[in-house]
Amino acid sequence: MDSPGARIVVFVCVMVALFGVAFSAQSCNVLLTSNRQFTACQTIPEVGANLAWRIRNDSSNAIDFAYSGTAPSASGWVGWGINPAGAGMVGTQALIAFQSTTGAVVYQYPVTGAVKGGQSLIPGDLTLNFTDTSAVVSGAEMTIFSTLNLKAGDSMSMQYVWGQGRTVDLTNNAVGPHSIPISGDAAVTNIDLLTAQASTVELPNQKLKNNHGLISAVSWGLLMPLGVMAARYLRPISGSNPAWFYTHIAFQCTGYVLGVVSWALGLKLHNLNEGGAVPYKHRNIGISIFALATLQVLALLLRPKPDAKYRKYWNIYHHTVGYATIILIIINIFEGLDLLQPEDKWTTAYVIVLCVLGGISLIMEIVIWTLWVKQRTKNNKDGMHGSQMKGTGSYRTGQDVV
Ligand SMILES: *[C@@H]1O[C@H](CO)[C@@H](O)[C@H](O)[C@H]1NC(C)=O
Ligand SMILES: *[C@@H]1O[C@H](CO)[C@@H](O)[C@H](O)[C@H]1NC(C)=O
């Protein structure tokens, strides 16, 4: 799961599988009419899950819960938790159910900052006192039953968080990443258990993160590669016409300006960084991309004249740094998607964009290589016939006219 390639494959598979999954969690009606005497129930439309509860009318200060959700597959997991620390994933005290080799199980999972940073989520002690926890698993439909024992004076208003994922490592009960995110606008709900009033909780900096992600994807992730493709593919077929150069510059400059905006948003997010979960990798690759892109812009201004002696070396340098930057950009966009955990359609959309760009590049590589071979054959022939038509420029490298 560490290489972007592997991730692309996984995400595409997730999408394919998701289309085959219909939400089939136990409905509120079923939960409310069960013999567990739940008195309230709330549906989470985003994931087709239901949360039912009953506040015990005695001195125990206990609340019985049932959370019923649908995992992406029968070998996946369904989880539900309460975050006493406030909004967000870090600090969540979660109960997660799945099918083990011996039957349905449910374990307690404390979601720490380290988990958000990439450590696997394994069972541990919770700060909340859940008792009588059990799970019923029927295919991908999983229902968690539990009783939360409150201390006197505990709030009856709580943030609850849900998620479900595709994989469980049955050797240590570690659950794989959630496929429907525990983030985004709707994955945390504030609920008043007494009145059954629920409201969606805005996660900290979520809008800023979304904007940073979107602008980065468009600027670094789309315009920059398009600009590189313009230079590589328009140039050989445009002869001495410098149009390719202006197209290249237009894409690269727009991409860079927007990229600087997203970089500034990234810096702001870094300063606001909450919970100690610093995404070092994403940040460091981001710094490298910004530095290399700035270097490319400066190099453009300092480029030697087309017929200068050093132009050849400048070209090699410019191309190497350019391609390296594009590779870093793609890696970092997947890093960012991992952190942001947007809905799968966003990741799929970016994978499709990459596939289209890759497909166009492949076709254009074949076209320009074919042209180059033809041109060379023609030149050789002309050469053999003593023609003076030499040095009309190779299709592969084009001509430096600007
Ligand atoms: C709680 O139980 C008492 C005694 O059985 C009853 O009088 C009261 O109406 C109950 N309250 C609720 C909210 O059900
Ligand atoms: C949890 O709640 C149960 C039932 O009220 C109680 O018996 C137990 O002592 C509590 N455990 C802790 C650690 O508070």
Atom of ligand 2 at shortest range from CA of 60: 5
- Element spanning 64, H or E: strand 62-70
Please report which confidence band the pLDDT of residue 280 belongs to, taking 50, 70 and 90 as the band edges: confident
Specify whether domain 22-200 bears CATH 3.40.50.2000: no
pLDDT for residue 392 is more than 70:
no
Predicted TM-score (pTM) of the model is 0.55
64 C-alpha vs ligand 2 centroid, how far in Å? 14
Mutational pocket test of ligand 2: of 129, 130, 151, the residue with most ligand atoms within 8 Å of the beta carbon: 129
CATH 2.60.40.1210, the chain: domain bounds: 22-200
Residue nearest to atom 14 of ligand 2 (CA): 129
**Residue-wise pLDDT tens digits, 300-332:** 888 888 888 889 999 999 999 999 999 999 999
Residue nearest to atom 10 of ligand 2 (CA): 129
198 C-alpha vs ligand 1 centroid, how far in Å? 24
Of 345, 63, 294, 279, residue with least CA distance to 192: 63
73 C-alpha vs ligand 1 centroid, how far in Å? 42
Atom of ligand 2 at shortest range from CA of 61: 5
CB 290 within 8 A of CB 283: no
Q: What angle do CA 243, 247, 252 make, to 5 degrees?
A: 150
- For 40-51, the DSSP string reads EEEEETTTTEEE
Quote the strand ranges of 127-212, DSSP E.
Answer: 130-138, 141-149, 157-165, 168-169, 174-175, 178-180, 188-192, 197-200
Residue 270 labelled as part of a binding site? no
Residue nearest to atom 12 of ligand 2 (CA): 129
More confident residue, 380 or 390: 380
Of 72, 272, 98, 106, residue with least CA distance to 181: 72
Report the Cα–Cα distance between both ends of the chain, in Å, rounded: 43
Tokens of 395: 């299709």
CB 127 within 8 A of CB 92: no
More confident residue, 383 or 127: 127
In this structure, the residues whose C-beta lies within 6 A of any atom of ligand 2 are 60, 129, 131, 149
CATH 1.20.120.1770, the chain: domain bounds: 206-384
Of 97, 91, 41, residue with least CA distance to 69: 97
CATH topology of domain 206-384: Four Helix Bundle (Hemerythrin (Met), subunit A) (1.20.120)
Q: How many C-alpha atoms does 33 have within 13 Å on its Cβ side?
A: 5
Residue 319 labelled as part of a binding site? no
Pairing of the two strands 174-175 and 168-169: antiparallel
Pairing of the two strands 141-149 and 174-175: unpaired
More confident residue, 381 or 364: 364
- Element spanning 103, H or E: strand 103-110
Q: How far is CA 372 from the centre of its chain?
A: 40
Residue 318 labelled as part of a binding site? yes
Instruction: Give the lowest-confidence range in 102-116, 346-360, 379-393.
Output: 379-393
